[in-house]
Amino acid sequence: MILVDWQILDRIRRGFISVEPFDPRLVQPNSLDIRLGNHFVWYEKGDGVIDPYQEETIATGTLETTADSIVLAPGQFMLAETHEVIGLPDNIVASIEGKSSIARLGIELHQTGGWIDAGF
């Protein structure tokens, strides 16, 4: 079952879903828009092998910014946090998908599975 706007609002107001900070204007007909946060981790092209067991090979830099924009170089990959922190109960899963207006700019919202597990 996909929740519609009034069901999303009801579950947030009753505390079943937590969204901090919450802005009711971000509730859409069957989704909740989320915003880009200000913490980033980036990877430079040509960094070599990324070994998940060797932390020093994973990220090349971190950035916290309050700027209105960030410039990505061609081929650069960056991870970012969302502005909102979301908590789900054990009986609700969520999925995260990009908006077409962002995709038309060549920006992908996620590289792998967009499922957010129940209870996360």
**Segment 35-88, tens digit of pLDDT:** 988 888 776 555 567 777 877 776 666 777 878 888 877 777 788 888 999 999
Query: Residue 62 belongs to what domain range?
Result: 37-45+57-81
Residue 50 belongs to a domain: no
CATH number at residue 95: 2.70.40.10
C-alpha to C-alpha distance for 42 and 59, rounded to whole angstroms: 6
> Could you tell me which residue, 9 or 48, shows the higher pLDDT?
9
Looking at residue 6, what is its pLDDT?
98
Looking at residue 86, what is its pLDDT?
94
**pLDDT greater than 70 at residue 102:** yes
Query: Do the beta carbons of residue 44 and residue 76 sit within 8 Å?
Result: yes
Number of domains forming the structure of the chain? 2
Looking at residue 44, what is its pLDDT?
59
